[in-house]
Structure 1
Amino acid sequence: MDKKMKILFLCTGNSCRSQMAEGWANALKQDTLEAHSAGIEKHGLNPLAVRVMAEAGVDISRHVSKIVADLPEQPFDCVITLCDHANETCPMFSGQAKRMHAGFDDPPALAKNAQTEEEAISHYRRVRDEIRAYVEGLPDMLGKSTNE
């Protein structure tokens, strides 16, 4: 059996996008990827992210918002930043970790000015589906960034 690729999805607060990515990777790619997520800061798990992932059949309700220092010491094969802030402030990782950026819109920021709950949740659903499409391409697409 081939060794699973260890991936860290990194975002600012580990509340939404990185949690979705970890959830999708564990649901869709458990045979090839060992997925983790963390943030530059802890913002807590976003309940709307939990809700839209549950709608898609992926339970992230037991995930916990964490920072890189909270993770067990381990070498990652790849660190993927999912927002510009995390990309700009990404901590250094020891070892051979390849670093990539795949930026996605921030659902809480987009939903902040929504007029209705349905409008707000639609931003979460769109980003959820975009992250799923990205994760479906892993690990094959690790040779290039979505922002190239």
Structure 2
Amino acid sequence: MYYHKVMTPAQPVPAFVRLACHPLRWRLLTELAASDYRVRELVVLVDHPQNLVSYHLRLLRDGGLVSSRRSSADARDSYYHLDLDRCAHALAATGLALHPALRLTPAPPQPPPAPARPPAVLFTCTGNSARSPIAEALLRHRGGGHLEVASAGSHPRPRLHPDAVRALREGYGIDLEEQRPRHLETLTGRHFDHVISLCDKVRELCPDFGDHSRRIHWSIPDPAAEQAGYTAFARTVAEIDTRVRYLLPVLTPREAQP
């Protein structure tokens, strides 16, 4: 029996595959999926020279999977962030490129099932007037009542920023009108499974909340420091909500996974 091979034009390898298949780049993606980091921290985590880490970070930035922002604590530093939404869509496009039956639609992460002990999550920023209370409200909103969530600041302001309150009310129907900022010291002695800093400055000041607390950093600029007014707060709420949606599966204990 003879087989006739039909030659078809070679399809280009999807960009996500080209970027992610390199072992060091995959390691960098894996680390950045958990938290935002500075270059020197990534150098320690992946145990490679800084010039090599910077080179591969630049390729990931050029590919649109990773972005960087100047640190608000030290402008000489930059924090790197993995765009999980872009990764989800890139993976879906990669499946479609392989076979039409692999057309995938990225599904938004769902609230975790109720575990025996609800995970406790603390969000921190400097003033506890915008970023951390926004994250607290959104995680409580999306967590379906199965999580313990709090927020606090190292130097709390007298009240929440009115544009933060407005952005949550208009975008999600969440009312924080009566909530007041609180100091990190008011939570001394409490245990949190996850402590998430949203401010580069407070990351260095946040106290420990138990030996087993997982420290995560989201490097998010203070919307009150921008000139865009309410637009900056609406944009910040959207970014935090994206991060919160992808945090939910991380908070689900492995044994609770379906």
Q: TM-score, normalised by structure 1?
A: 0.84
* Structure 2 counterparts to residues 112-131 of structure 1, below 5 A: 114=227, 119-131=228-240
Rounded to whole Å, the distance in 2 between the matches of 1:9 and 1:73 is: 16
Residues 75 and 95, structure 1, Cα contact 8 Å, conserved in 2: no
- Contact 1:10-1:18 within 8 A present in 2 as well: yes
Match of 1:107 among 223, 231, 242: 223
Q: Which secondary structure state, in structure 2, belongs to the residue aligned with residue 140 of structure 1?
A: helix
Report the Cα offset of residue 141 of structure 1: 4.3
Q: Which has the higher contact order (CA 8 A, sep 6+)?
A: 1
* CA root-mean-square deviation: 1.6
Query: Contact conserved, 1:4 with 1:31, CA < 8 A, in 2?
Result: no
Q: Indicate if the aligned counterparts of 1:82 and 1:101 stay in contact, CA closer than 8 A.
A: yes
- Residue pair 1:39, 1:67 contacting (<8 A) in 2 also: yes
Distance 1:84 1:25 in 2: 21
Unpaired runs of at least 5, structure 1: 143-148
Structure with greater helix percent:
2
Mark the structure with the bigger radius of gyration. 2
8 A contact 2:189–2:209 mirrored in 1: no
Cα distance in 2 for partners of 1:74, 1:88 equals: 19
1:71 aligns with 2:187: yes
- Cα distance in 2 between the residues matched to 1:27 and 1:62: 17
**Letter paired with 2:234:** R
2:156 to 25, 42, 50: 42
Unpaired runs of at least 5, structure 2: 1-113, 252-258
| TM-score normalized by the length of structure 2 | 0.49
Shift in Å at residue 63 of structure 1? 1.6
1:92-139 per-residue CA deviation (whole Å, 9 max, x = no partner) reads 2223111110111110001xxx3xxxx411100000000011111123
Which amino acid in 1 is paired with 2:244? V
**Tell me, what secondary structure is at the counterpart of 1:32?**
coil
Aligned counterpart in structure 1 of residue 213 of structure 2, from 94, 97, 105: 97
Aligned positions of 1:16-27 closer than 5 A: 16-27=130-141
Distance 1:32 1:25 in 2: 10
1:86, 1:101 → 2: CA distance? 10
- What does residue 132 of structure 1 align with? 241
Give the whole-Å Cα distance in 2 for the aligned partners of 1:12 and 1:140.
27
